[in-house]
Amino acid sequence: MDDRDSPIRYYSGYNRKPPRRGGFFSYFVVALIAAVIGGVITAYIAPNYLYGNIIPVPDIYKAQQNISVPQNVNITPDYDITPVSAVVKKGMDSVVGITTVEVVRDFFWAREVEGIGSGIIINSNGYILTNSHVIGDGQAKKITVLFENGDKQSGNVLWYDPSLDLAILKVNATGLPEATLGDSDNLEVGQLAVAIGNPLGLDFQRTVTSGIISGLHRTIKVDSSTVIEDLIQTDASINPGNSGGPLLNEKGEVIGINTAKIQTAEGLGFSLPINLAKPILEEVIKEGDYQTVYMGITGVEVERYENQLGIDLNVDSGLIILEVSSNSPGSKAGLKNGDVLIKIDNQTVENMNQLRKLLYKYKKNDKATLTIIRDGKEIKKEIKFTKLK
């Protein structure tokens, strides 16, 4: 059969090649030239010479003529620091560490016990606010204040009150970075709260913890004779060594002085409202000391009195008066031994510590109404605070 009649053609010989055809590059060049020509016609010739003259203007071209081209938008990254970082940046340098040496007597011998806490600079001339228990309620033999820059200064106690758990120290220094005090009367649950202090020793000094204000006007019982009221509750972690350090709001202002935590639970820390300390700070800085009004009485809470004597006074709570000093505001008001003081104005009274705290609200020559129980009857007496102590 002739090869020309076969549907399949065979090629023999190693040097023989199929017939040559146009290469890929030639096709690419032709396509490129066509694309350029088409683009010129579409972009320039058609809009300026053909549309509206030879051929009608396409609707899509009409719509495009009404589209405004947006201007270039410049975006500048803004890497703001977090609220907690901003608070720390503002308040950190006013936080100090406080180390103490206290002499503790055990039967026939004495030993020195070291303690550590925190404090806050509230005046550039060396005034520092802390807890009373940080300085051993005034019994510390030696007090050393450690500043952020590494300096150390001996601290002297100007004023303290265990019932408030507040103390004011003075160091011989000027130009210190003082903290900004906030307003603890305007706090709301849920606000940011940042605590700074020295938990568990100087190895962790100036530790920052954050959380929120979890509650207001809390009352805790520290021991059998000490009840602290009107506290700020926070879930910012507070540990031993944080005591005396500041609780700060979102503005970096001091709103409280960290004082205690519930040991059996997490996230239950407490701070003393800064507004409680403000009038005391002002007086101490101005006069070098602070004196409060006093009633001239001593007493004990009803429950303890009943338990010790095994009697029932038929009174749920209150302070039973054991002694009234002569010529004191209390004696002039007509108070007697055996009276049970249950209120001063509208504030309930349960023990001497609580009474001392309530008296900070009064000034010399202020008057108050006392509610007492005498011989099973409730009566009222007016007292005028004529003396300071």
Annotated catalytic residues are 133, 165, 243
On the 0-12 / 13-18 / 19+ scale of CB atoms within 10 A, 326 is exposed
Helix (H/G/I), strand (E/B), else coil: 90: helix
Give the DSSP letter string of 356-377: HHHHTT--TT-EEEEEEEETTE
Distance CA(194)–CA(236), nearest Å, equals: 7
331-to-325, 334, 348, 382, 383 alpha-carbon distances in Å = 7, 5, 20, 11, 9
Residue 264, both tokens: 């059996």
Give the single-character DSSP code of 163.
T
HSE-up (13 A, CA, CB side) for residue 191: 19
Residue 226, amino acid: T
The Cα–Cα gap between 238 and 232 comes to 12
